[in-house]
Structure 1
């Protein structure tokens, strides 16, 4: 009788343990927390943790796709593993550097200029290990069912009264330079003006030379005619 009761007690305990395990939340392999989890909050520090699962290599980098309402230019790196840096991408950023030791979780912080006006935001995450292994935590819950590889989710409180979206961050852009066509037009105009001036100068010089030459020729002709006339008169008188 005591043996049967003991077996029944063990079976009940095992069943209860199984039920509790199934009812409990699934282990989070990538998660995010905020120091101000509120819609439209400004200068928010987000802390990301990626749980190490590989038994052969450590994390090398973590890529995050930002939710709508957060621009890559509005994110800056805070605390991070030694040697890790942040590089922005078209839809988010990549944090990485020297591979961590095997079994060490990847934990880092980023500062966000402002959170979007939403109830929750998802940060799809792709983790890469030193040996090339990749883990993707990019799935979103559908129809109330938990995803197998869920993206880190951050639930936000309602925005504070009077909170509004800030203006987009100014982006540095080089000063506009004159268009090539404008430069070309200026150069051509200048060259044309110079050429015209030189041509006019040459024409003026040529005209002056012709006038001087013509005057000299006229003087010579008149002088020769006068000499011939004087000589003829002299000959006639002598005769």
Structure 2
């Protein structure tokens, strides 16, 4: 019985030790976007750096920006009390007094515009603690592969607005107003052609009527002249 108790105690201690050793592996730096769409403007990125040290607090977060986002396009929105924002050649750093042990580092920035042709954006982040420990969350995820050991914070983007319309089958040629405009000249030409044909037919008919009227006038005039000549011939002058 005593042996069984010691075995159970040893097993429990082993499980607890394994849990403590594995705890840092669950810590991550994550990022979220309020408008996760390619080409979106004035996007707020919120970072959450999970504390993993049991003896020191976080003192800085250095972020390397992905291609398509310039440091000049990034401005600070929120940071821990006393922390400052500094731009660098490839990103920015937020640093300040050490946070309490176990306290996560949360900060947010605004990006002027996201790249229009990107599907994912990864923000390599280096996290530094007050005792000098450095955690590098810089591994890029690969499609079809398990999550890397120290993954960089990554967001997935929806296609840009114009690309989404094309994917849905909406193109400029399918615009009803454009279709009407495209067919209007043909209809106008057809209408004009019909009018010209009608006018031509009316003109030909008018000419034929005028010819018959002239002929009738000539016949009547000739007949009248003949009668007058006969009358004068039957009544000679005295």
> Which bracket does the TM-score occupy, shorter chain normalised?
0.5 to 0.7
Q: Which residue of 1 aligns with 2:28?
A: 29
CA contact (8 A) 2:82 2:97 kept: yes
SS in structure 2 of the partner of residue 78 of structure 1: strand
Q: Which residue of 1 aligns with 2:212?
A: none
Q: Which residue of 1 aligns with 2:141?
A: 141
1:58–1:28 CA distance, 2 compared to 1 (3 A) = closer
SS in structure 1 of the partner of residue 72 of structure 2: helix
1:68–1:109 CA distance, 2 compared to 1 (3 A) = same
Task: Deviation per CA, 1:162-220: give whole Å up to 9, x if none.
Answer: 89xxxxxxxxxxxxxxxxxxxxxxxxxxxxxxxxxxxxxxxxxxxxxxxxxxxxxxxxx
Shift of 1:73: 0.6
How many residue pairs match? The answer is 138
Q: Which residue of 1 aligns with 2:159?
A: 158
Q: CA-atom RMSD, angstroms?
A: 1.7
Counterpart mapping for 1:10-159 below 5 A: 27=26, 29-117=28-116, 118-142=118-142, 144-145=144-145, 146-159=147-160
TM-score (norm 2): 0.56
SS in structure 2 of the partner of residue 161 of structure 1: helix
Shift of 1:114: 0.5
Structure 2 unpaired stretches of 5+: 1-24, 165-238
Task: Deviation per CA, 1:27-76: give whole Å up to 9, x if none.
Answer: 46111001100001000000000100001111000000000000001101
Greater percentage in helix: 2
CA contact (8 A) 2:126 2:135 kept: yes
Shift of 1:144: 2.0
Structure 1 unpaired stretches of 5+: 1-25, 164-239
Task: Deviation per CA, 1:135-165: give whole Å up to 9, x if none.
Answer: 00000123522211000011000111289xx
* Distance across 1 between alignment mates of 2:137 and 2:60: 14
Q: Which residue of 2 aligns with 1:185?
A: none
CA contact (8 A) 2:27 2:52 kept: no
